[in-house]
């Protein structure tokens, strides 16, 4: 989860909400949280496949995150992910195994 959190570093609060909505999340109830808190909650909700994640973006993968980031023109974040994928043979990365093991209790700064 920390790695995903780092990929979204630099996005403003509303940008994080927009990416979350593109992934199928309803983040309207997070108005009292700052950008870092929204980022952590958005990632938790996405990995837990809450709201409409399955219908909109499917099982959480780096590919679905890349698509959501591209929709909003966040090419810097896309490049970070793609660079990491190219460094490893496991393009499903940690997300696939995390979803299978229900690792939704990670701490986020």
- Identify whether the C-beta of residue 5 lies closer than 8 Å to the C-beta of residue 108: yes
75 has a pLDDT exceeding 70: yes
Name the residue among 57, 68, 59 with its Cα closest to residue 99: 59
Residue 26 covered by a domain: yes
Domains of the chain: total: 1
For residue 29, what pLDDT is reported? 78
pTM of full prediction above 0.85: no
Name the residue among 60, 62, 54, 50 with its Cα closest to residue 6: 62
What average pLDDT does the structure give for the chain? 84
Residue 80 covered by a domain: yes
In 11-92, which residue ranges form alpha helices assigned H by DSSP?
13-22, 35-47, 53-56, 62-71, 75-87
For residue 106, what pLDDT is reported? 38
For residue 31, what pLDDT is reported? 78
For residue 109, what pLDDT is reported? 38
Residue 108 covered by a domain: no
Residue 106 covered by a domain: no
Residue 109 covered by a domain: no
Range of the domain at 67: 2-101
- Identify whether the C-beta of residue 95 lies closer than 8 Å to the C-beta of residue 61: yes
The whole-angstrom separation of Cα 81 and Cα 21 is: 20
Q: When comparing pLDDT for 104 and 87, which is higher?
A: 87
């Amino acid at each position: 989860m920390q790695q995903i959190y780092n990929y979204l570093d630099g996005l403003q609060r509303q940008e994080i909400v927009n990416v979350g909505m593109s992934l199928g999340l309803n983040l309207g109830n997070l108005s009292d949280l700052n950008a870092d808190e929204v980022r952590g909650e958005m990632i938790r909700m996405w990995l837990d496949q809450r709201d409409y994640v399955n219908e909109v973006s499917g099982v959480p993968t780096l590919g679905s995150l890349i698509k959501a980031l591209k929709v909003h023109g966040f090419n810097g974040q896309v490049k970070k992910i793609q660079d990491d994928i190219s460094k490893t043979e496991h393009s499903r990365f940690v997300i696939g195994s995390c979803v299978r093991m229900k690792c939704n209790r990670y701490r986020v700064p």
